[in-house]
Amino acid sequence: MPDRPLHPRTRAVHHGIRRSQYGEMAEALFLTQGFAYDSAEQAEARFQHSGPDEFIYARYGNPTSRMFEDRMASLEGTEDAFATASGMAAVNGALMAVAAPGSRIVAARQLFGSCLYVLELLRKFGVEVVLIDGTDLNQWRDAVTPGTAACFLETVSNPTLEVMDLAGIAKIAHAAGALVIADNVFATPVFSRAVELGADVVVYSTTKHVDGGGRALGGVICGSREFVRTRAEPYLKHTGGAISPFNAWIMLNGLTTMELRVRAMADSALAVAQALQGAGVRVIYPGLPEHPQHALAMRQIGSGGTMIALDLGSKQAAFAMLDRLRLVSISNNLGDAKSIVTHPATTTHQRLPEAEREGLGIGPGLLRLSVGLEHPDDLIADLLGALA
């Protein structure tokens, strides 16, 4: 490898590769949960301390998983990373690493349904969880008291696409000694500047843009070596949260094309958002100047991203549109090569009471659109045709 710093796109292709004695070109899939030791002494030594290329059991680590972790840490700009079985295992692992009875976690209330569930669970175990409007820095200032353990937020909220001022929140958190844990799925690892803006820990569901083909579940926790290896890893390795080597191998392959894919998807998303807005639909897309946090999104993320929300006013209008689509699929993943539309109120967020959903801006007419890799003209024709 050259000594000079390499661009993220180059690192996404090469970083972290571990070649076996055969010198294989492609990242090897080490589909093994165990590893043999040369002697009893070696086994004993490895259980006491294992180096970066010494493995014990795939629940603790695996060479393919480690390649993926190293590549993600390099892209995110953190010292280390731990790959998890899903995005939720990453969110849960990062929060469990900071939670203790009596500790305080301040979180933006604009969260994915399962993230809210994890916070509710922590409350049951005596963690003081305070939910606020994440877009309002004054609420962060009031809620983050000295000694607060962590601030948790989705940098761009799922599904309402509210953009949080990560730099502002990090300043408030750090003044109080709190860690900032950012769920950065919607910003994507391609546009992420989360660490530079002050996030201490960045979590992803790699099920989304990293896989990019809607094949496998996965997640990752990126952070300092101390956080990842001494706080998150012990919890995750003993409770079974590690990624499967097979899924890590899929994620590694996803990373090699991620930047090209995500940039193309974001370009299409802007074109789709403009076309829908031109047709008179209420469109929520951070890349449009009408979005309330457009300037912030451009400053901190530099792109409107690959996700769009539309508000058609009623469930009836939303369902009528969904049922007329011919190309865009009705499903609930995102970041896939195939465009996907979701009705959050009746699917991903149906667990929440209606009042809470409405409070989050998830009305009966809201649709979440994940823009894929199809030609934007075909997507626009399908979407406008379904509206007609």
Ligand X SMILES: *Cc1c(COP(=O)(O)O)cnc(C)c1O
- End-to-end CA, the chain: 54
Counting residues that bind ligand X (by CB under 6 A) gives 16
Q: Which stretch binds ligand X (CB under 6 A): 83-91, 167-175, 245-253, 310-318?
A: 83-91
At its nearest, how many Å lie between ligand X and the CB of residue 204?
8
Asked if 248 and 217 touch (Cβ cutoff 8 Å), the reply is: no
CA distance 251 to 82: 13
Does 344 engage in binding with ligand X (CB under 6 A)? no
At its nearest, how many Å lie between ligand X and the CB of residue 280?
28
According to DSSP, the residues that pair with 151 across neighbouring strands are 106, 180
CB closer to ligand X, 92 vs 382: 92
Indicate which single residue of 27, 69, 154, 200 sits in contact with ligand X (rule: CB under 6 A).
Answer: 154
At its nearest, how many Å lie between ligand X and the CB of residue 335?
8
Asked if 333 and 213 touch (Cβ cutoff 8 Å), the reply is: no
At its nearest, how many Å lie between ligand X and the CB of residue 102?
26
> How many CB atoms lie under 10 A from the CB of residue 176?
18
Please list, residue by residue across 155-166, b when 16 or more beta carbons sit within 10 angstroms of its beta carbon and e when fewer do.
Answer: bbbbbbbbbbbb
Q: Quick one: CA dihedral 358, 183, 298, 211, positive or negative?
A: negative
According to DSSP, the residues that pair with 229 across neighbouring strands are none
At its nearest, how many Å lie between ligand X and the CB of residue 158?
4
Indicate which single residue of 82, 112, 140, 227 sits in contact with ligand X (rule: CB under 6 A).
Answer: 112
Does 82 engage in binding with ligand X (CB under 6 A)? no
Q: How far is CA 290 from CA 23, 263, 344, in A?
A: 53, 21, 23
Does 286 engage in binding with ligand X (CB under 6 A)? no
Q: Which stretch binds ligand X (CB under 6 A): 52-60, 112-120, 321-329, 368-376?
A: 112-120
Q: What amino acid is encoded at 211 in this protein? A: D
At its nearest, how many Å lie between ligand X and the CB of residue 73?
19
Indicate which single residue of 81, 88, 178, 181 sits in contact with ligand X (rule: CB under 6 A).
Answer: 88
Does 93 engage in binding with ligand X (CB under 6 A)? no
| DSSP letter, residue 156 | B
Does 301 engage in binding with ligand X (CB under 6 A)? no
Q: Quick one: CA dihedral 255, 284, 136, 294, positive or negative?
A: positive
Indicate which single residue of 67, 91, 107, 108 sits in contact with ligand X (rule: CB under 6 A).
Answer: 91
Q: Which stretch binds ligand X (CB under 6 A): 36-44, 110-118, 144-152, 375-383?
A: 110-118
CB closer to ligand X, 193 vs 208: 208
- Using CB positions, name the residue nearest to ligand X: 87
Does 64 engage in binding with ligand X (CB under 6 A)? no
Which three-class secondary structure state does DSSP give residue 34? strand
Q: What amino acid is encoded at 342 in this protein? A: T
At its nearest, how many Å lie between ligand X and the CB of residue 38?
38
CB closer to ligand X, 154 vs 162: 154
Indicate which single residue of 28, 179, 217, 255 sits in contact with ligand X (rule: CB under 6 A).
Answer: 217
Closest CA to 206 of 155, 249, 251, 154: 251
At its nearest, how many Å lie between ligand X and the CB of residue 91?
6
Q: How far is CA 183 from CA 57, 137, 194, in A?
A: 28, 18, 10
Query: Which residues, 156 to 215, sit near ligand X by CB under 6 A?
Result: 158, 183, 185, 205, 207-208
CA distance 221 to 211: 16
Does 308 engage in binding with ligand X (CB under 6 A)? no
> How many CB atoms lie under 10 A from the CB of residue 380?
18
Which run of H or of E encompasses 186?
none
> Using CB under 6 A as the criterion, which residues of the chain lie in contact with ligand X when the complex forms?
86-88, 91, 112, 114-115, 154, 158, 183, 185, 205, 207-208, 217, 219
